[in-house]
Structure 1
């Protein structure tokens, strides 16, 4: 267990280090902007490490799925803040991280749980609830970002919205028909 936790923590820190390193601007920012970026990175990195540790401690696929959902929610909130602050660089990087968490964490974990859980069991309802909450949160984030784009703030959000739509479509359970994300979310 300690080796697994160490491995997950090390992996998370490597990803976060690369991400934070990529945040380095091409020009020298004023001290106030550097302090703001540092604060964003510090808080987000701490939250993501906490999620990673909780994920490593999870034994059941549904517990892992819920932790992946929490991680995705944290990244989604940071993504929305970046859009409000018109920070295109952070917006693109956070959307890539969010899609990665969904594609490599949440979706496969939901599929694993669906494979292991009987459709008639109480756990099947919990599985559907996790999936529905995840889809709903992604749909809400897409809607918020669409409103940001409509506010004529000059943000290039089309790529980000396409990434989120693609990620949301990966949250189908085994045996479900492919549907448009907007029609399947709450």
Structure 2
């Protein structure tokens, strides 16, 4: 019985020690920082919500794909603005979000829409336009990001954009 008590005590002590080794959580944001971030993200949030609502209301998969592309374009515009102001951390964060929206939202929506359209129909032409516009969005980003500098997260984001171009073709 003493062995179990000793093992339990040792386990609790080791667990407490291991828990104390973790990274220190970041300091909470001040109200001033929260307000600054809200102002910086206001237009982006508004556009993403608007396009998300329109996407959910769209009846045809081609229309959903078009609205999803508009949402991703809102992110492209925000990333370009962050690159213009040389805010490398914002560029990296928004580029990761852009990649997620395209990979998990736009690509499956395009695939779903492709299954339901007749080749060379007006819907097929619209779908190909959404796809080509999406490729141009990625290329647009690739030209804007090098202006940010030698930030490693931005370099990683550029590599991820190469993957998106291939997936969109």
What range describes the TM-score normalised by the shorter chain of this pair? 0.7 to 0.9
Alignment partner of 1:169 is 2:169: no
Is the CA contact 1:69–1:130 (under 8 Å) kept in the aligned structure 2? yes
Give the equivalent residue in structure 2 for 1:85.
Answer: 85
Superposition pairs for residues 102-181 of structure 1, below 5 Å?
102-146=102-146, 148-149=147-148, 153-156=149-152, 157-172=154-169
Alpha-carbon distance, 1:47 to partner: 1.6
**How many residues in Structure 1 have an aligned counterpart in Structure 2?**
143
Equivalent residue of 2:168, what SS?
A: coil
Alpha-carbon distance, 1:36 to partner: 3.4
Q: For each residue in 1:138-163, what CA deviation from the matched residue of structure 2 results, as whole angstroms up to 9, or x when unmatched? A: 111111213x14xxx44332111111
Give the equivalent residue in structure 1 for 2:67.
Answer: 67
Alpha-carbon distance, 1:120 to partner: 2.7
Cα distance in 2 for residues equivalent to 1:65 and 1:116: 12
Q: For each residue in 1:8-55, what CA deviation from the matched residue of structure 2 results, as whole angstroms up to 9, or x when unmatched? A: xxxxxxxxxxxxxxxxx7486794x65432201222212211111111
Q: For each residue in 1:55-81, what CA deviation from the matched residue of structure 2 results, as whole angstroms up to 9, or x when unmatched? A: 110111110111111011100111122
Cα distance in 2 for residues equivalent to 1:40 and 1:87: 12
Superposed structure 1 runs of 4+ greater than 4 Å apart: 25-31
CA spacing shift, 1:158–1:124, aligned 2, 3 Å = same
Is the CA contact 1:83–1:155 (under 8 Å) kept in the aligned structure 2? no
Alpha-carbon distance, 1:165 to partner: 1.5
Is the CA contact 1:114–1:124 (under 8 Å) kept in the aligned structure 2? yes
Q: For each residue in 1:86-133, what CA deviation from the matched residue of structure 2 results, as whole angstroms up to 9, or x when unmatched? A: 323322221111011111111111111111111132221111111111
Equivalent residue of 1:117, what SS?
A: coil
Per the normalisation by structure 2, the TM-score is 0.75
Cα distance in 1 for residues equivalent to 2:118 and 2:31: 57
Is the CA contact 1:72–1:102 (under 8 Å) kept in the aligned structure 2? yes
Equivalent residue of 1:86, what SS?
A: coil
Q: Which structure has the larger Rg?
A: 2
Alpha-carbon distance, 1:166 to partner: 1.2
